Amino acid sequence: MRNMKPIIKRFISYITIDTESDPTSDTTPSTSKQWDLANKLAEELKAIGMSDVSIDDNAYIMATLPSNVDHKVPTIGFISHFDTSPDFTGANVNPQLIENYDGKDIMLNKEEGIILSPDYFEDLLLYKGQTLITTDGTTLLGADDKAGITEIVTAMEYLINHPEIKHGEIKVGFTPDEEIGRGAHKFDVEKFGADWAYTMDGSQIGELEYENFNAAGAVVKIKGKIVHPGYAKGKMVNSMYYASEFINALPRLETPEHTEGYQGFFHLTSIDGKVEETTLQYIIRDHNMDKFEARKALMKKVTEDLNTKFEADIFSITITDQYYNMRQKVEPVMHIVDIAEEAMTSLGIKPLIKPIRGGTDGSQLSYMGLPCPNIFAGGHNFHGRYEYVPVESMEKAVKVICKIAELTALRSL
Ligand SMILES: [Zn+2]
Read off the pLDDT of residues 229-269 as tens digits, 9 standing for 90 and up: 999 999 999 999 999 999 999 999 999 999 999 999 999 99
pLDDT band at 2 (very low <50, low <70, confident <90, very high): low
Amino acid at 36: D
Ion ligand 1, residues whose Cβ is below 5 A away: 144-145, 201
* Banded model confidence at residue 358, pLDDT cuts 50, 70, 90: confident
Residues carrying an active site annotation: 83, 178
Q: Measured in angstroms, how far is the CA atom of residue 181 from the centroid of ligand 1? A: 10
What are the pLDDT digits (tens) for 118-148?
A: 999 999 999 999 999 999 999 999 999 999 9
Distance CA(201)–CA(207), nearest Å, equals: 10
Between CA 275 and CA 94 the distance in angstroms is 49
Q: Tell me: the pLDDT tens digits for 12-21?
A: 999 999 999 9
Q: Is 267 exposed, middle or buried (0-12, 13-18, 19+ CB in 10 A)?
A: middle
The residue count for the chain: 413
Centre of ligand 1 from the C-alpha of residue 57, in Å: 22
Domains of the chain, first to last: 6-211+326-411 (3.40.630.10), 214-323 (3.30.70.360)
Alpha carbon of 395 to ligand 1 centroid (Å): 18
Query: What is the C-alpha separation between 49 and 47, in angstroms, rounded?
Result: 5
Residue pair 195/179 in contact by the 8 Å Cβ criterion = no
Close Cβ partners of 26 (under 8 Å, ≥ 6 residues apart): none
Model pLDDT, residue 412 = 87
Average pLDDT over residues 141-169: 98
Q: Answer yes or no: is 177 a known binding residue.
A: no
For position 1, what pLDDT does the model report?
55
Angle at 32 between CA 31 and CA 35, to 5 degrees: 115
Category of 122 on φ-ψ map: left (φ > 0), alpha (ψ -120 to 50) or beta? alpha
Whole-number pLDDT of residue 20: 97
201 labeled part of a ligand binding site: yes
CA of 213 to the centre of ligand 1 (A): 16
Q: Is 411 a residue whose pLDDT tops 80?
A: yes
The pLDDT value given to residue 3: 79
Confidence (pLDDT) at 367:
95
81 marked among binding-site residues: yes
Q: Which of 180, 210, 143, 179 is nearest to 381 (CA)?
A: 143
Mean pLDDT, rounded, for 22-36: 97
**Is 44 annotated in some ligand binding site?**
no
Percent of the chain with pLDDT over 70: 100
The CA 302 to ligand 1 mean position distance, Å, reads 36
Q: Give the pLDDT of residue 202.
A: 95
Q: Is 123 annotated as a binding residue?
A: no
The bridge status of strand 196-202 relative to strand 374-376 is: parallel
Q: State the chain's mean pLDDT as an integer.
A: 96
Closest CA to 215 of 282, 136, 311: 282
Whole-angstrom distance, CA of residue 280 vs CA of residue 9 = 47
Residue whose C-alpha is closest to residue 52's, from 192, 197, 195, 196: 192
| pLDDT value at residue 413 | 82
In this prediction, residue 181 carries a pLDDT of 87
What's the mean pLDDT in 314-340?
96
User: What's the CA gap between 8 and 26, in Å, rounded?
Assistant: 34
Residue 97: name the closest of 384, 391, 385 by CA: 391
